[in-house]
Each structure stands twice: as C-alpha cells, then as structure tokens.
Amino acid sequence: MTTCLHCYSLNIVKNGKSYYGKQNYKCRYCCRQAVERAPEKLYSGDDLLKSLLLERVPLHAIARVLKMDNPEYTDPTIRK
C-alpha cells in the first residue's frame, strides 16, 4: 500500500496488524486506517481457459493467445 485509500495521501505508516493478521496502515493526513487487500484478479488461468472454451474459441487460438508452450492439442492444419 503506497497511498491512502481515502484521501490518496502518500503519508501513510504501518499501524499494527488487523484481527486477521494482515498489515494495518494509518494515514497521517486524514487519520483513517485501512488494511491492504490483495488485488482482485479478473480471471485466473483456469477460469479464463474455461470461459474461452465455453465461448467456443478454437483451441489453437486459445493456445496462441495464452502463449501455451506445449499445448496438448496440435492444430491439424499446421504441417511441419
């Protein structure tokens, strides 16, 4: 956490731990406290893959977009 969640001040200090053991911060400008939260992921890798499969995106396109090094599926149109 680098800024206050309430006033966006950069003047924050550590202020003990929360009940759940997470770092608690206090803003020296507005005196409000906040606990840092993990950033929310839009999709995990598996969720993104499931969503793409449900949208019927071709497997070779999924492998290309997700940059899979060794996908189990091989495109039959690709000839070596």
The reply to whether 30 sits near Zn ion by the rule CB under 5 A is yes
Closest CA to 36 of 6, 70, 5: 5
Coil, strand, or helix at residue 39?
A: coil
Give whichever of 36 and 47 is closer to Zn ion, judged by the CB atom. 36
User: How big is the site for Zn ion, counted in residues (CB under 5 A)?
Assistant: 7
Give the pairing of strands 33-35 and 12-17: unpaired
Scanning the structure block, which residue is given the tokens 């999924």?
62
Give whichever of 15 and 52 is closer to Zn ion, judged by the CB atom. 15
The reply to whether 28 sits near Zn ion by the rule CB under 5 A is no
Give whichever of 1 and 7 is closer to Zn ion, judged by the CB atom. 7
